[in-house]
Amino acid sequence: MAVNLEIKLGPLELAHPIINASGTFDVLAADKALEEDLFVSFPFAAYIPKTVTLQPRAGNPPPRLQETAAGLLNSIGLANHGIEAFITEDLHRLESLPVPVIASIAGEETEDYGRCAAMLDSREEVAAIELNVSCPNVELDGRALGLDPEKTRQATVLARQATSKFLIVKLTPNVTDIIEVAAAAVDGGADCVSLINTVHGMALDRYSLKPVLGHVTGGLSGPAIKPVALRAVFLVSRELDVPVIGMGGVTTAQDALEFMAAGATAVAVGTASFRDPLAAAMAPELGRLINEHGIGSASELIGVAH
Amino acid sequence: MDAGLIPAELLKCAVVESRQVGAYRLISFVAPQIANLAHPGQFLMIRMSGNELDPLLPRPMGIHNVESDLVTMLIDPVGKGTARLAAAGIGDRVSVLGPLGMGFRFEGEAPAVLVGGGIGISPLKLLARSLAAEGREVRCLLGFRTRKEAVATELFSGVRTDVITEDGSVGRLGLVSDPLPGCLAREPGKPTPEIFACGPSPMLAAVARIARECGNAAQVSVEAHMACGIGSCQGCVIRGAGGYLRVCNDGPVFDVEDISWQ
């Protein structure tokens, strides 16, 4: 029996629950390397480009990457060409994708979220907006705005005032109580929360015993953080009434199955796409697993672990 | 030849050759598409096939050689990922994405001086062959730490080769950049020699300085940690003359003037 994989994420009707994590799959760059392979079987049911900011950002000094045990540390630092270039250069190219586009924005201060959201509000190519309040690589101590529930609420309020689009707030796990921050986002007008962004971490060079990353500290992703992410998705989705996008170390269809059971409505694949650019093509296998568990559809799987 | 971006595909390829070459490991696998498309200086993202999560990511490696359906890589087992690949036995499968990136660009008839340091000699093999096939005069300067690494000189049979070792155990004692200035003078009736280099950063910086001082064009292949290899992650950047450059998409081969050498 075929399992219905379609899910609703607010106004977005997705063919299946698998999307990408922002910053891990640049379809415009990958297009050059993968060409038609990519478009014949586009693995994501919605596409989130890399986070953009009001002004262009060069990003952090290299080295920006270090692999760790079943994980990846990065300190990219939100390198992007700015929201204006995103709107004038990227958006129309993304329009040819067979799936909805969710723009991702970040700011250095809460007001930036309102300004960026306002710039995207009239763009039909943008189906929803993700507020990235959780990039750990902007300040040395990882002081993302999303560490503070009140600032998270304020940023969401300002974006909410600027747009009627579906608003997703992407949360950091680097807090004492992620439920409190998630609740603040929802109180500010978020339609959905997305979690988790990377976990604070660092690595030392084995010979020099100095920090490997040019930015000294970074964010950890990959299979190593899956249990951390699963817990956060479980707790937040149990407490709040908005849909949750789950991510953090999702590598296989079994991982996606578990995130949905923990309460995620959609599941994002990130670092696994670096391992294999078509790793996210896991929807058919997810359907098979759902069926194996005697569950009739993807939407019925959501939160069965609660 | 076109050094541009070419469609790449993730392939699972069977290893058909695996042997020690001094300190390095040479593996070959069957990948007709890659063998057919590969341009000298391009690289592959390569890891062992399977569900192992540690090492997690593929490693970027320059293509050493292609021969009909076979692709050959030379591996320096310095870390977990490379050691795992070096342990690949015949019949094991590797997962491969490529060929990726911008390779060496070659036009004209200038004599070519190839400079390789350590495992950086690897992509120079396919380059030397391709240049020779175009009728270019090719000379290789290959530098190694010790005799153990210098065994890999045997991979360059048929090419005019000078070996330099840091301990003097084989060939000339010193650094591979030491004899370079002596190879760069323009000979009567020939264009000014062009430099093609691959190796560790200090070596490439020395090559860039010598090229500038002697007035020769030079291209260098740069190494960086990568996560994706296809321009997604922005993790592999180096400082360029006008901002950061992605080694994977903008390189790995750059003109020396495009890189900031400070």
Number of Cβ within 10 Å of residue B4's Cβ equals 10
Q: Do B239 and B126 share a structural domain?
A: yes
3-state DSSP assignment of residue A93: helix
Arithmetic mean of pLDDT, A49-58 = 95
Residue A33's pLDDT band (boundaries 50, 70, 90)?
low
Confidence of residue A29 (pLDDT cuts 50, 70, 90): confident
Active site residue A135: yes
Query: Mean pLDDT, to the nearest integer, of B202-214?
Result: 97
Q: Is the pLDDT of residue B10 over 80?
A: no
Q: What percent of chain B has a predicted confidence (pLDDT) above 70? A: 97
pLDDT(A37) > 70: no
Residues composing chain A: 306
pLDDT in tens, B96-146: 999 999 999 988 899 999 999 999 999 999 999 999 999 999 999 999 999
Confidence of residue B3 (pLDDT cuts 50, 70, 90): very low
Q: Show residues of chain A in contact with B7, CB under 8 Å.
A: 33-37
In this complex, which of A30, A62, A72 lies closest to B237 when CB atoms are compared?
A62
The partner residue sitting opposite B5, judged by closest CB among A32, A71, A278, is: A32
Name the CA radius of gyration of chain B, rounded: 17
Pick the closest to residue B257 from B242, B235, B246 (CA basis): B242
Q: Count the Cβ atoms, other than its own, within 10 Å of residue B183.
A: 18
Instruction: Report pLDDT digits (tens) over A89-132.
Output: 999 889 888 899 999 999 988 999 999 999 999 999 999 999 99
Same domain, B73 and B136: no
Q: Distance from B205 to chain A by nearest Cα, in Å?
A: 17
Task: Provide, rounded to the nearest whole percent, the portion of chain A with pLDDT above 70.
Answer: 93
pLDDT above 50 (res B5): no
Structure confidence at residue A1 (pLDDT): 61
Amino acid at B89: G
Mean per-residue pLDDT over chain A, rounded: 93
Banded pLDDT at A277 (limits 50, 70, 90): confident
Give the mean model confidence (pLDDT) for residues A62-70.
Answer: 97
> Which of the listed residues B68, B99, B130 is the one where a domain comes to its end?
B99
pLDDT band at A34 (very low <50, low <70, confident <90, very high): low
Question: Are B124 and B219 part of one and the same domain?
Answer: yes
The residue written with tokens 């020769």 in the block is: B216
Q: Does B236 touch chain A (CB under 8 A)?
A: yes
pLDDT, residue A32, reads 59
Render pLDDT for B55-74 as a digit per residue (tens, 0 to 9).
999 999 999 999 999 999 99
Is B121 touching A (CB cutoff 8 A)? no
Query: Under a CB-based contact definition with an 8 Å cutoff, are residues B192 and B216 in contact?
Result: yes
Residues of A in contact with B51 (CB under 8 A): 252
Domain boundary among B46, B77, B99: B99
CATH code given to domain A7-301: 3.20.20.70
User: What tokens does B34 get?
Assistant: 């890659």
Span A146-156, average pLDDT: 94
Chain A CB contacts of B227 below 8 Å: 65, 72, 74, 271, 274
Same domain, B75 and B118: no
Residue B42 near residue B63, CB atoms below 8 Å: yes
Inside any domain, residue B209: yes
In a domain, B104, yes or no: no
Q: Chain A residues within 8 A (CB-CB) of chain B?
A: 23-26, 29-30, 32-37, 50, 58-59, 62-67, 69-72, 74, 76, 79, 222-223, 251-252, 271, 273-278
Strand ordering across the sheet containing A65-68: A65-68, A71-74, A218-221, A199-201
Which has the higher per-residue pLDDT, B3 or B127?
B127
Longest dimension (CA), chain B: 59
A&B contacts, CB < 8 Å = 114
Show the domain range for B62: 9-99
Q: Which residues does residue B195 pair with via DSSP β-bridges, in sequence order?
A: B113, B218
Task: Please indicate whether, in this complex, the C-beta atoms of A67 and B243 are within 8 angstroms of each other.
Answer: no
- Mean pLDDT calculated for residue range B26-42: 95
How many beta carbons lie within 10 A of that of residue B131, not counting itself? 23
Nearest to B229 by CA among B39, B4, B42: B42
Query: What pLDDT sits at residue B162?
Result: 97
In this structure, the strands spanning B70-75 and B24-30 are: antiparallel
CATH assignment at residue B177: 3.40.50.80
Task: Give yes or no: residues B47 and B130 share one domain.
Answer: no
B83, B116: one domain: no
Q: Give the span between the Cα atoms of B185 and B204, in whole angstroms.
A: 19
User: How far apart (Å, rounded) are the C-alpha atoms in residues A55 and A232?
Assistant: 32
> What pLDDT is stored for residue B2 in this prediction?
34
Q: Could you tell me if B97 and B229 are in contact, meaning their C-beta atoms sit under 8 angstroms apart?
A: yes
A149-162 and A110-121 helices, crossing angle to 10°: 20
Judging by beta carbons within 10 Å of its beta carbon (0-12, 13-18, 19+), is residue A263 exposed, middle or buried? Answer: buried
Q: Are residues B179 and B78 in the same domain?
A: no
Question: What is the domain partition of chain A in residue ranges?
Answer: 7-301
Does residue B2 sit within a domain?
no
- B215 with B138, same domain: the answer is yes
Taking the CA of residue A287 and the nearest CA in chain B, the distance in Å comes to 20
Least Cα separation, residue B95 to chain A (angstroms): 9
Q: How far apart, in whole angstroms, are the C-alpha atoms of residue B177 and residue B203? A: 7
Statement to judge: residues B89 and B121 lie in one domain: no
Taking contacts as CB-CB distances below 8 angstroms, the residues of chain A near B228 are 24, 30, 273-274, 277
A209-226: average pLDDT? 97
Whether B168 has a pLDDT exceeding 50, the answer reads: yes
- Provide the pLDDT for residue A131: 97
Q: Which of A32, A252, A278 sits opposite B231 (nearest CB)?
A: A32
Average pLDDT of the segment spanning A222-247: 98
In this structure, the answer to whether residues B95 and B116 fall within a common structural domain is no
What is the structure's pLDDT at B175?
A: 97
Spatial distance between the Cα atoms of A240 and A235, rounded to a whole number of angstroms: 9
Cβ-contact A51, A80 below 8 angstroms: yes
In the predicted structure, residue B81 carries a pLDDT above the cut 80:
yes
The reply to whether B149 and B175 lie within a common domain is yes
Q: List the catalytic residue out of A5, A38, A117, A135.
A: A135
pLDDT above 70: residue A136: no
B85: buried, middle or exposed (CB in 10 Å: 19+, 13-18, 0-12)? buried
